[in-house]
Structure 1
Amino acid sequence: MSSDSLKRDYRSRQSSDSTTPGRKRFAERLPKDHDRTESYGYRNEFFEKQIDPVWASTKVAAKILDISPNALRIMKCRGKVECRYFGKHLRFEISQLQLLLRKNR
C-alpha cells in the first residue's frame, strides 16, 4: 500500500469517527455507574444506613469547596482551614468545609 492511499484514507475519514472501533467497543464494556454522587463517592443499595464520611482527602475537599487542591493547601498554610494528618495523609473535616463554604457565600 502506498503512502498516497494511506493519506486518502486518513483524509476521507469522517469527523464523527474520532475513536477507533476497538476503543468504542471497550467503552461499551465499561460498567455504567449511576449510584455515584459527585462529592462523597459511591452509594450502594445494601448499605443505605451507611455513615457518611467525616474526613475528606485534599482532592475531595477541594471539589467540595470548588477550588484547586493547591489552593486548599495554601489556605491550610495560612491557617484558614483546619485539617489533620493521619500518618502522612492530610485530611479535612467535612463539617468544617461545609461551614467554611456557607461563611464564604
Structure 2
Amino acid sequence: MHAPFSPSDIWFILAKIPEGNVVTYGQLANMAGAPGYARVVGNILKQLPSGSGLPWHRVINSKGQISFPEASAKYQQQQSLLESEGVTLLNGKVNLKLYQWNGE
C-alpha cells in the first residue's frame, strides 16, 4: 500500500520537533495526515540522507522507547543525542507526558 504522503512531508514535520522533545512514529504519521502509517514513517527515517541534519533521534515508539536493539550502536547514539538535549530515559523509557511534543 502506498503512503498518502511523501518522505518530504515527514522531513518537514521532523525538522520542526523542538530540541528536548520527542514524538512517536504514529504521531508523526498522524501529523502528516496519515494515521496508521507509523511503520512507513520508520522506513522513511531509516532512509534519511546521510548528513541531513534532521533530528531523527527525537522519534521513538508509542511505548516511549527507542526502537533499536538496546545493545546496538544506534540505540546508544539515539540515547546519547536525546540525553544531550535534556531528555532522560528511566528504565529505557522516555516520559511522554513530560517530553512529547504536540505539534505546537
For this structure pair, what is the TM-score category when the shorter chain's length is used for normalisation?
Answer: under 0.3
Q: Which has the higher contact order (CA 8 A, sep 6+)?
A: 2
Larger strand proportion of the pair: 1
